[in-house]
Amino acid sequence: MTHTNLKALHNFYSNKKQLFIYLLKWTLLSLIMGALIGAASALFLYLLHFVTDYRTNHIHIIYLLPLAGLLSGLIYHYYGGKANLGNNLLIDEYHEPKKVMPLKMAPFVLFGTLLTHLFGGSAGREGTAIQMGGAIADQFSRFVNLLSTDRKTIILMGVSGGFASVFGTPLAGTLFALELMLVGSVLYQSIFPTLMTALVAHYVCILLGTTHTTYIQDSIAIFDLITIIKVITAGIMFGLAAILFIKATDIWASFLKKSITYPPLRLFIGGIVFLFGIFLIGDYKYLGLGVPVIEDAFINHQESTVFILKIVFTAITLGAGFKGGEVTPLFFIGATLGSFLAVYLNVPVDFLAAVGFVAVFAGATKTPWACTLMAIELFGSENGVYFAIACTIAFLISGKHTIYKSQKFT
Pair 82, 89: CB distance under 8 Å? yes
Beta bridge partners of 409: 183
Pair 178, 194: CB distance under 8 Å? yes
CATH fold, domain 12-207, is Clc chloride channel (1.10.3080)
Q: Do domains 12-207 and 225-397 have the same CATH topology?
A: yes
Q: In 3-state terms, what secondary structure has residue 409?
A: strand
Cα Rg of the chain (Å, integer):
21
Q: What is the chain's pLDDT, residue by residue, as a tens digit (410 residues)?
A: 455 555 555 565 567 778 888 889 899 999 999 999 999 999 999 999 999 999 999 999 999 999 999 999 999 999 998 888 888 899 888 888 888 999 999 999 999 999 999 999 999 998 899 999 999 999 998 887 766 788 889 999 999 999 999 999 999 999 999 988 876 555 667 888 999 999 999 999 999 998 888 888 899 999 999 999 999 999 999 999 999 999 999 999 999 999 999 999 999 999 999 999 999 999 999 999 999 999 999 999 999 999 999 999 999 999 999 999 899 999 999 999 999 999 999 999 999 999 999 999 999 999 999 999 999 999 999 999 999 999 999 999 999 999 998 877 76
Calpha distance 70→269 (Å, rounded)? 9
pLDDT value for 380: 92
The residues, any chain, with a CB within 8 Å of residue 409's CB and separated by 6 or more, are: 183, 184, 366, 400
CA distances, 20 to each of 16, 34, 90 (Å):
6, 20, 29
Q: In 3-state terms, what secondary structure has residue 185?
A: coil
Beta bridge partners of 183: 409
CA distances, 142 to each of 103, 126, 152, 348 (Å):
12, 25, 13, 52
Write the DSSP assignment of 24-91 as a string of letters: HHHHHHHHHHHHHHHHHHHHHHHHHHHHHHHHHHSGGGGGGHHHHHHHHHHHIIIIIGGGGGTHHHHH
DSSP H helical segments within 208-224, as ranges? none
Pair 193, 30: CB distance under 8 Å? yes
Write the DSSP assignment of 352-397 as a string of letters: HHHHHHHHHHHHHHT-HHHHHHHHHHHH-STTHHHHHHHHHHHHHH
Closest by Cα among 266, 314, 306 to 288: 314
Calpha distance 218→25 (Å, rounded)? 42
CATH among 1.10.287.610, 1.10.3080.10, 3.30.390.30, 3.60.10.10 for 225-397: 1.10.3080.10
Calpha distance 134→119 (Å, rounded)? 26
Domain ranges of the chain: 12-207, 225-397
